Amino acid sequence: MASTRPWSGQWVSDRLGVGLEGDGLTDLLGLALRRNPKRAHLLVSNVLGKHVPQRPHVVRDAGYGLGRRVRELLGEEAAARAVVLGYAETATGLGQCVADGTGLAPYLHSTRRPVPGVEPVGGFEEEHSHATSHLLLPEDAGLLAGDGPLVLVDDEFSTGQTVLNTIRALHTGHSRDRYVVVALVDMRSAADRERLAKLAAELGARVDVVALATGTVTLPEDVLERGKGLVAVYELAAAATEATGRFSGYGPRDDDDELEARQAARVELGMPGGLRARDTAPETPQAVRVDLGWPEGLPDGGRHGFTSAHRDRLEAALPGMAERIATALPAEARRGRVLVLGNEELMYAPLRLAGALESVLDGADVRFSTTTRSPVLAVDDPGYAIRTRISFPAHDSPADDPVHGPPGERYAYNVAGAGFDAVVAVVDSAGDTPGLHAPGGLLDRLAAHTGRVLLAPVPAYTPNNGQA
């Protein structure tokens, strides 16, 4: 029987005339709007595990399957010499799943979090993104220096500009003759495809593209201005309803006056976020801490590199860590709906924990998603991809947090109102700060929308010093 649920991009399509052309795209993608001077619309993946809570095996299988296709494309010998590079923040987990599917390839993801004492070996820009600068911080400085294939993984391949920037930057220092670009969806225009072909010819390299689906986005000429207008109208409604999680809060403002007005409005309405309390507020008892028993010295992800040996250690430890989480859940949650919520770039470890928990909790509906720094408008309509939004201050001393200003705002989408009996927040130890626990912080905001919040910290890995 065909589903009667509307496409989660219909709301934007009806109002702005944005369309997707390509087989299977509406199953993989929805649409939303965001405050961005370069691109008003946002393609929202249903299988990425970022904005839309999804069953962990669906997220894992999408990336792993792409990795198997890369392995078949390259052949066993070349795949064993490959390095997989994922893009922060959205594709850090996807890229690591692709690396798993290729077999033995080591994995590295770019990062927007500078790490004291670790010098970048490179970087590149992502022009259309909300946060653009990418750093490469491998523990092994020679990781990208080999001549084997380089596999670049992003959630969407829209114009291809980021990939062009990456290939140019890395090819200058360490040339190679084979690149593979992997994405959930390839949405490039004919002109964009030609640009990549010209770059490949210029460098004397072969560049292949592997994607779950291929198509294009159709955009009216005035879509950017019309999108800005829609965002402005709906953000006005946000101020009066933030406490419910619907239209919850404003995106970042462009000047101090607007920021002060926003904070004043929150204080007047009794909303969280009116004060910068994260550095001084006492910890509140809204979350139950779970000791995962994370293996000593095991990296928490691919920020500094992740090898097949690391993967083997993680696989062996996952069942025991999932049991510890399951034991801490209340009885109703063990039979109900549980969300494992990762934290920005920390996607892979929470995803794998969610998958292991799914196996332990027979009959429970386990979902996975992560927080993000990307501001997106929430509209509580079944034809819109971002139904609800929880906003909270950043809690990991990020690079966008000025010394004398408020912390950068972060978001969790489609969590409020979703009926989760429990939420398991997985953060690395660098983010397990007073700000995480403060009134108006992430744990406090989650507690308003679920029966139980668990906090499962993962030790942040620091090159040369092990776990921080």
Q: What is the pLDDT of residues 189-227, one digit of tens each?
A: 999 999 999 999 999 999 999 999 999 999 998 888 898
Closest CA to 150 of 165, 164, 167: 167
CA distance 75 to 23: 28
According to the model, what pLDDT value does residue 400 have? 62
Cα 133 to chain centroid, rounded:
15
Instruction: Locate the DSSP E strands across 268-397.
Output: 288-289, 337-343, 365-371, 389-393
Q: Is pLDDT of 402 > 70?
A: no
According to the model, what pLDDT value does residue 8 have? 97
Q: What is the mean pLDDT of residues 350-378?
A: 96
CA distance 388 to 54: 15
Q: What is the DSSP letter of 203?
A: H
CA distance 4 to 18: 21
Segment (H or E) for 94: helix 92-102
CA distance 14 to 231: 15
Q: Which of 20-29, 127-136, 313-322 has the lowest mean pLDDT?
A: 127-136
CA distance 462 to 467: 6
CA distance 180 to 147: 13
For residue 76, give every residue at least 6 positions away whose Cβ sits within 8 Å of its Cβ, in sequence order, or none: 103
Reported as a pLDDT band with limits 50, 70 and 90, residue 264 is very low
According to the model, what pLDDT value does residue 117 have? 82
CA distance 357 to 160: 36
Q: Is pLDDT of 281 > 60?
A: no
439: exposed, middle or buried (Cβ count in 10 Å: 0-12, 13-18, 19+): middle
According to the model, what pLDDT value does residue 36 have? 76
According to the model, what pLDDT value does residue 96 have? 98
369: exposed, middle or buried (Cβ count in 10 Å: 0-12, 13-18, 19+): buried
Q: What is the mean pLDDT of residues 444-456?
A: 96
CA distance 227 to 40: 5
Q: Is the dihedral of CA 163, 165, 170, 172 positive or negative?
A: positive
Reported as a pLDDT band with limits 50, 70 and 90, residue 465 is low
Model confidence over 377-390: pLDDT tens digits? 999 999 999 999 99
According to the model, what pLDDT value does residue 207 have? 97
Domains and CATH numbers, the chain: 288-400+407-463 (3.40.50)
- Encoding tokens for residue 463? 């090159």
CA distance 118 to 99: 24
State the chain's mean pLDDT as an integer. 86
Tally of CB atoms within 10 A around 177: 11
According to the model, what pLDDT value does residue 216 have? 94
3-state helix, strand, coil in the chain (%, to 5): 35, 25, 45
According to the model, what pLDDT value does residue 198 have? 96
Model confidence over 101-150: pLDDT tens digits? 999 999 999 998 888 888 888 766 555 444 447 789 999 989 999 899 99
For residue 37, give every residue at least 6 positions away whose Cβ sits within 8 Å of its Cβ, in sequence order, or none: none
Radius of gyration for the alpha carbons in the chain, expressed in angstroms and rounded: 21
Reported as a pLDDT band with limits 50, 70 and 90, residue 391 is very high
